């Protein structure tokens, strides 16, 4: 789309007007058309997200996914249009680069028409923005929700996490200590959820919990993850026919924001990391489909399930049947796919998946086998439409498709994953903990013959529970 727009601009075709507003202090704001202007600027300065300005914005640490998108865009534009440097060279020496000669002449007449919102009232300008962006091609409902709560603790925390505490500092009014604390938590959460970066096709057995760190679903996913971690009500904005209206924006609340991001890190520690409370959930079990595709809706579902365990203190109970639960999820991965198709993704679909998890857990806690659990699902009015099926991959192809590679990699990861010696479930590499077979207090030495891989939670909490002889 960037390439097509730059071509239209260069060839002096019709370019839709950019709508602007000027403040009483004579600052100009773009109400609609920022993407159009950004595309032209990117071409002029050869910065498609990986150049000098972008590097400075990201503190010279640009996400790998962003670099790949930038390189692809640059190649598309240079192949079909030519770089701006080529146009400059052609202008200085006419006829030296025949492929851009005609376009270089057209460029002299290219322009971007501007329309101005009248008046100095900023609220009027904001209303214009929301009116424009809720007609024709609408802004995503969750994105509108984030925009409309941009100074709220959950929105600031989400933006800090998604950008790895880089880019625009929405927390610039915080005290130095508060800003440092927020950025430290944001970096820790980003590392836990997005590293190593997800590749397509996946080329590593280490899978990030939250999928791609750069994309349209990234901010909405983290925004709702923050909400779940802090028990903030989540509204399915897709069901609301009400148009979003501007609400007065307050000054960011530093204590509340620090509390929210701290609560988010606590949930993150439960799901992954090497913290003593970590369950070390394996991404291949919980957050990726059998095809290898990342499932953001499952991330939210599991986050809410873990928050529920926290509220009811059920982590020991979960650990007792964790191996059986995870084996059921692995052999019935298509159920989550089908539930997502039925109910929708993200805010529309995570609650039904969480309910499915709870349904299976209750049966396993009651001593049911996997076959009995599957039968109970078939007999349930709620889940009788779920069908056990295998993914359909390319047929009779000589070269493996990316889908086949993804499927095989996930299959291999699940088969070869290290298992916890205490509960028997798979351990995510980011959460691998080397514990003593015979405890130090019982004379166990730090020798490889007395070492075993464990989930951090299993070593810190479940093992002492077993030692007491409790069932």
pLDDT in tens, 321-349: 999 999 999 999 999 999 999 999 998 89
Question: In three state form, how does the secondary structure of 363-411 look?
Answer: HHHCCCCHHHHHHHHHHCCCCCCCCCCCCCCCCCCCCCCHHHHHHHHHH
pLDDT of residue 358: 98
More confident residue, 107 or 179: 179
More confident residue, 60 or 221: 221
pLDDT of residue 366: 97
Q: How confident is the model at residue 119 (pLDDT cuts 50, 70, 90)?
A: confident
Highest mean pLDDT among 100-114, 119-133, 383-397, 451-465: 451-465
Report whether 310 contacts 270 (CB < 8 A). yes
Strands 18-22 and 114-117: parallel
Predicted confidence (pLDDT) per residue in 24-79, tens digit: 888 899 988 888 999 999 999 999 999 999 888 777 777 777 888 999 999 999 99
Q: How confident is the model at residue 132 (pLDDT cuts 50, 70, 90)?
A: confident
Share above pLDDT 90 across residues of the chain, in percent, rounded to a whole number: 53
pLDDT of residue 147: 76
Question: Is residue 177 scored above 60 in pLDDT?
Answer: yes
pLDDT of residue 135: 56
Range with the poorest average pLDDT among 59-63, 210-214, 261-265, 279-283: 59-63
Highest mean pLDDT among 116-120, 247-251, 385-389, 414-418: 414-418
pLDDT of residue 16: 84
365 Cβ contact partners less than 8 Å away, ≥ 6 residues apart: 317, 321
Average pLDDT, the chain: 87
Highest mean pLDDT among 159-168, 211-220, 255-264: 255-264
Predicted confidence (pLDDT) per residue in 223-263, tens digit: 999 999 999 988 765 555 445 555 566 789 999 999 999 99
Share above pLDDT 70 across residues of the chain, in percent, rounded to a whole number: 90
How many angstroms separate the CA atoms of 299 and 284, rounded? 12
**Short-list 197, 188, 130, CA closest to 161:** 188
Summarize the confidence of residues 291-306 as an average pLDDT.
95
Summarize the confidence of residues 194-209 as an average pLDDT.
77
């Amino acid at each position: 789309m960037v390439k097509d727009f730059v071509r239209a601009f260069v060839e002096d075709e019709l370019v839709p007007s950019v709508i602007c507003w000027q403040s009483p202090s004579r600052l100009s704001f773009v109400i609609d058309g920022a993407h159009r202007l950004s595309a032209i600027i990117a071409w002029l300065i050869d910065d498609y997200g990986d150049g000098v300005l972008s590097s400075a914005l990201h503190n010279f640490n640009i996400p790998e996914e962003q670099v790949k998108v930038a390189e692809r865009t640059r190649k598309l534009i240079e192949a079909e249009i030519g770089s701006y440097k080529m146009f400059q060279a052609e202008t200085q020496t006419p006829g030296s680069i025949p492929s851009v000669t005609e376009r270089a002449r057209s460029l002299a007449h290219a322009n971007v028409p501007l329309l101005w919102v009248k008046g100095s009232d900023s609220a009027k300008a904001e209303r214009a923005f929301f009116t424009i962006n809720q007609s024709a091609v609408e802004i995503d409902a969750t994105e509108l929700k984030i925009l409309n709560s941009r100074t709220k603790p959950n929105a600031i925390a989400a933006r800090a996490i998604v950008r790895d505490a880089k880019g625009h500092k929405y927390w610039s009014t915080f005290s130095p200590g508060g800003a440092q604390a927020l950025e430290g938590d944001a970096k820790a959460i980003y590392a836990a959820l997005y590293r190593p970066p997800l590749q397509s096709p996946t080329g590593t057995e280490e899978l990030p919990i939250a999928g791609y760190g750069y994309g349209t679903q990234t901010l909405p996913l983290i925004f709702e993850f923050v909400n779940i971690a802090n028990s903030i009500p989540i509204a399915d904005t897709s069901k609301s026919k009400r148009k979003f209206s501007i609400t007065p924006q307050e000054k960011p609340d530093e204590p509340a924001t620090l509390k929210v991001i701290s609560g988010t890190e606590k949930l993150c520690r439960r799901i992954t990391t090497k913290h003593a409370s970590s369950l070390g959930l394996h991404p291949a079990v919980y957050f990726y489909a059998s095809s290898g595709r990342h499932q953001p809706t499952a991330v939210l579902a599991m986050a809410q399930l873990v928050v529920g365990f926290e509220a009811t203190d059920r982590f020991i109970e979960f650990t007792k049947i964790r191996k059986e639960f995870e084996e059921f999820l692995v052999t019935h991965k298509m159920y989550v796919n089908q539930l997502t198709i039925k109910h929708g993704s993200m805010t529309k679909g995570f609650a039904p998946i969480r309910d499915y998890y709870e349904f299976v857990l209750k049966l396993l806690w009651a001593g049911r086998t996997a076959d009995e659990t599957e039968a109970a699902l078939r007999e349930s009015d709620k889940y009788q439409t779920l069908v056990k099926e295998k993914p359909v991959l390319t047929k009779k192809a000589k070269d493996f498709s990316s889908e086949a590679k993804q499927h095989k990699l996930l299959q291999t990861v699940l088969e070869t994953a290290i298992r916890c010696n205490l509960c028997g479930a798979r351990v995510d590499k980011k959460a691998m903990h080397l514990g003593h077979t015979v405890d130090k207090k019982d004379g166990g030495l730090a020798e490889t013959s007395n070492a075993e891989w464990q989930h951090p939670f299993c070593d810190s909490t479940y093992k002492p529970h077993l030692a007491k002889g409790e069932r």
